[in-house]
Structure 1
Amino acid sequence: MKTVNHYHHKKILVLGLAKSGVGAASLLHKLGAFVTVNDYKPLDENPEAQSLLEQGITVICGSHPVALLDEGFEYVVKNPGIPYSNPIVQGAIDRGLPVITEVELAYQISQAPFVAITGTNGKTTTTTLINEIFQAAQKSSLIAGNIGKVSSIVAENAKKDDTIIIELSSFQLMGIEAFRPKIAILTNLYEAHIDYHGTMKDYISAKANITKNQTKEDYFIVNADQEAVMEVAAHSKATIIPFSTTKTLDKGGYVKDGIIYFNEEAIISIADIVLPGAHNLENILSSIIAAKLSGIGNEAIYQVLTTFQGVAHRLQFVGEKHKRRFYNDSKATNILATTKALAAFDQSIVLLAGGLDRGNSFDELIPALTNVKAVVTFGETAEKIDAAAAHAGIKSIVHANNVEDAVPLAFDLSKEGDIILLSPACASWDQYKTFEVRGDIFIEAVHKLK
């Protein structure tokens, strides 16, 4: 960890806990700051807050009193999930206080360089792939951010010869000041999280922060097939390295005659790649580029791409029962992700979908349902997805109470050779704490089938 005196004897408010808040508060305490933590959950239901109390950190729980700002704080470190409309956050901004996220702290103390990945879809797969390639090449890498450990804890223990591979959301990227990755990746941009950001323009602006501090000495890997991504790249000062699944490029990563190339060097045949789904080519291309820019040879890349079957809850193969193949795509929390999952299969599909209702319709899902023979819906959005399925001409539409009940119903609607796919197109929070919990319940229900 770098020696950082910037926060010594500064009064800092850590707003919101969860893992990132605990990590930020503990780190700032070690750096000599006077830390106050404020979390909405009551203290007697809040083991994270209790652990911070034991470290001698001031903790205020049960509400977010705006009067806290009268105590003379010099920084606010915000949990990414807390919106900027929160009265304390808005009050801090009105007073001119810097509002940062824990990722910024991680960067400031880290001795290790960062490879940072953002985008609407593909972040987790790309982050995991890059880490797997680093490991295969015996290069020391650490995963942080939305997957893996809290970034400030990772950065605290990272050494100069490590590389921190970090998945970043738009929420996290809104709260950076100096964060500057050696390699940044923008996988794609589609409409998402408008309930948080307000407009697509503001969402893209948040994503663009991944490159805002980069210079010509850094690399920005971008999706050349998307105009919105290339507009972000046009304002970057980094060295731009594009990738494309549809056209041959003068430099960067592309596909030609069934072969993946980087800067005109053949890397691997698509036929040798295990990871299913045409959409994963974007993730594979950006991962190959990041590896090559990091000095990794083709052998390690080939080794990983011929064995890597995907990450948990993202088109994860669960198993085969009675000649039906089951896939867990619980991480598909929006329509686009489900559309891409459906396009990954040529076989007939029984789709399990539903979850939190964010007020949107599912008309955009209709064109993707061509291979779907039956739908089992659950959660708040069940009736909306039913309507989309009926519009698509699907005859077998069944309601389930939850994911566990949906699995045997889906099996009854299937026949040999079918795919049974959990790809909800919705967040999980109406019935499940996380999409991981939802996916795990699906896996357990599959294994219970007789």
Structure 2
Amino acid sequence: MKQNTKYQHKKILVLGLAKSGVSAATLLHKLGAFVTINDLKPFSENPEAQGLLEQGITVICGDHPIDLLDEGFELVVKNPGIPYHNPMVKRAIEKGIPIITEVELAYEISEAPFIGITGTNGKTTTTTLIFEMLEKGSKMPMIAGNIGTVASDVAQMAEGHNQIVIELSSFQLMGIDTFRPKIAVLTNLYDAHLDYHRTRPEYFEAKSYITKNQTVDDYFIVNYEQEEVMNIARLSQATIVPFSTKQFLETGASVKDGWVYFNGEPILERSQIVLPGDHNLENILSAIAAAKLTGVENRAIHYVLSTFTGVKHRLQYIGDKHGRKFYNDSKATNILATQNALNAFRQPVVLLAGGLDRGNEFDELLPAFKQIKALITFGQTAEKLERVGKQAGIKTIIRVDNVEKAVPVALDLSEADDIILLSPACASWDQYKTFEVRGDIFINAVHKL
């Protein structure tokens, strides 16, 4: 960990706790700052706040009092999940108080370089693939961010020979100042999180921050087939490394004649990749580019891609039961993710879908639904999904109470060589606390078979 006196004797407000807030408050206290934390959860129900109080940190819980910002704070470290239109954040902006997220702190103290991954879809799979390739290639990576340990905790342990592979959300990137990854990856861009960002341009701009501090000595790996991504790339000062699933590229990562290439060098045959789906091929190409740029040998890349079956809850292969292959794609909380999952298979599919009703319809799923053998619905959106299923000509549509009850029904409706896929196209919050909980229930129900 780098010695850092920047925050010594400064009065800093940590707004919102959770894991990143606790880590930020503890680190700033260690760096000599006068830290106050403010969290909505009442103190009596807040063990994190209680622990920070024991360290000598000032704790204010139960609400966000606007007048707290009149106490001379020089910096706000904001939980990424708190939007910028929150009254407390708006007031801090009006007062000219700088606002950062915990990722910025991690960068300032880290002795190790960062490989940062962002995008609308594919971040977690790409981050995991890069980490696995670097680990197999003896590059001593450490994983951080949304997928792993809080970044500032990792940064305190990292040394110069390590590389921190970090998944970054738009929420985190809006709160950076000097953060500069040696390698940045932008997987793709689609409309998302507009309840937080309010507008599409603001969301895309937030994603672009991953490269805003890069120089020509850094690398920016980008999706060559997306105009929105390439527009950001044209404004970057970094060395651009494109990837494409549709055309061969002399520079960057691409496919040709059944082989995967990087900078014109054949890396491995596509048939040796076990992770299904064209959308995953995008993730694989960007991961290969990052691995090659860090000096990973082809044999390490080959090993990872011939054994990697997916990140948990993201088109995760569960197993073969009675000749049916079960896949857990509970992370598919939007229409695009479910489209990608369905397009990954050529076999007949029994789809399990449904969840939180956010007011949208599902007509965009109509083309992908035409390959479905049977549809099993649950949750608030069951009726909407059934309407599209009938329009697509699906003959067997059954509604059940929940995911657990859907699994044995799917088995009864399927035959050997069919795919049974949980890909809800919806958030889980109508029935389950998180998509992980929903996916775990699916996995357990499959094992019960």
TM bucket, shorter chain: over 0.9
State the alpha-carbon separation in 1 of the partners of residues 281 and 118 from structure 2.
16
User: 5 Å matches for 1:375-394?
Assistant: 375-394=375-394
State the alpha-carbon separation in 2 of the partners of residues 9 and 384 from structure 1.
57
**What is the DSSP-based 3-state SS (H/G/I as helix, E as strand, rest coil) of the residue aligned with 2:278?**
coil
Match for residue 433 of structure 1? 433
Give CA deviations for 1:229-274 in whole Å, capped at 9, x if unaligned.
1001011010001011111113111101011111111111001111
Q: Which moved more, 1:354-363 or 1:158-167?
A: 354-363
State the alpha-carbon separation in 2 of the partners of residues 5 and 210 from structure 1.
25
In structure 1, what residue type is equivalent to 2:383?
Answer: E
**What is the DSSP-based 3-state SS (H/G/I as helix, E as strand, rest coil) of the residue aligned with 1:261?**
strand
Deviation at 1:369, TM superposition (A): 1.1
In structure 2, what residue type is equivalent to 1:154?
Answer: V
State the alpha-carbon separation in 1 of the partners of residues 377 and 38 from structure 2.
38
State the alpha-carbon separation in 1 of the partners of residues 73 and 165 from structure 2.
32
State the alpha-carbon separation in 2 of the partners of residues 78 and 410 from structure 1.
44
In structure 1, what residue type is equivalent to 2:139?
Answer: K
In structure 2, what residue type is equivalent to 1:325?
Answer: K
Match for residue 287 of structure 2? 287
Deviation at 1:431, TM superposition (A): 2.0
Match for residue 416 of structure 1? 416
State the alpha-carbon separation in 1 of the partners of residues 12 and 389 from structure 2.
51
Match for residue 334 of structure 2? 334
**What is the DSSP-based 3-state SS (H/G/I as helix, E as strand, rest coil) of the residue aligned with 2:303?**
helix
Where do 4+ consecutive residues of structure 1 move more than 3 Å?
none
State the alpha-carbon separation in 2 of the partners of residues 379 and 99 from structure 1.
39
In structure 1, what residue type is equivalent to 2:396?
Answer: S
State the alpha-carbon separation in 1 of the partners of residues 7 and 272 from structure 2.
51
Q: Does 1:442 align with 2:442?
A: yes
In structure 1, what residue type is equivalent to 2:346?
Answer: D
State the alpha-carbon separation in 2 of the partners of residues 312 and 156 from structure 1.
27
Match for residue 347 of structure 1? 347
State the alpha-carbon separation in 2 of the partners of residues 359 and 199 from structure 1.
18
Deviation at 1:72, TM superposition (A): 1.3
Deviation at 1:115, TM superposition (A): 0.3
Deviation at 1:185, TM superposition (A): 0.3
Match for residue 88 of structure 2? 88
Match for residue 253 of structure 1? 253
Deviation at 1:400, TM superposition (A): 2.1
Give CA deviations for 1:165-221 in whole Å, capped at 9, x if unaligned.
000011111111111000000001111111111111111101000000000000000
In structure 1, what residue type is equivalent to 2:184?
Answer: A
Give CA deviations for 1:331-390 in whole Å, capped at 9, x if unaligned.
111111111010111111111112222222111111111221221222222222222222
Match for residue 35 of structure 1? 35
State the alpha-carbon separation in 2 of the partners of residues 71 and 388 from structure 1.
55
Match for residue 218 of structure 2? 218
State the alpha-carbon separation in 2 of the partners of residues 2 and 14 from structure 1.
21
Q: Which moved more, 1:397-406 or 1:181-190?
A: 397-406
Q: Which moved more, 1:330-339 or 1:353-362?
A: 353-362
Deviation at 1:416, TM superposition (A): 2.1
**What is the DSSP-based 3-state SS (H/G/I as helix, E as strand, rest coil) of the residue aligned with 1:342?**
helix
Q: Does 1:373 align with 2:373?
A: yes
Match for residue 202 of structure 1? 202
User: 5 Å matches for 1:218-237?
Assistant: 218-237=218-237
User: 5 Å matches for 1:20-59?
Assistant: 20-59=20-59
In structure 2, what residue type is equivalent to 1:424?
Answer: P
Deviation at 1:418, TM superposition (A): 1.3
In structure 2, what residue type is equivalent to 1:422?
Answer: L
* Gaps in structure 2 of 5+ consecutive residues: none
**What is the DSSP-based 3-state SS (H/G/I as helix, E as strand, rest coil) of the residue aligned with 1:279?**
helix
State the alpha-carbon separation in 2 of the partners of residues 385 and 42 from structure 1.
39
Match for residue 241 of structure 1? 241
Deviation at 1:306, TM superposition (A): 1.1
Identity across matched positions, percent: 69
State the alpha-carbon separation in 2 of the partners of residues 415 and 228 from structure 1.
42
State the alpha-carbon separation in 2 of the partners of residues 354 and 20 from structure 1.
31
In structure 2, what residue type is equivalent to 1:76?
Answer: V
Give CA deviations for 1:23-67 in whole Å, capped at 9, x if unaligned.
111111111111111111112222211221221111111111112
Match for residue 156 of structure 1? 156
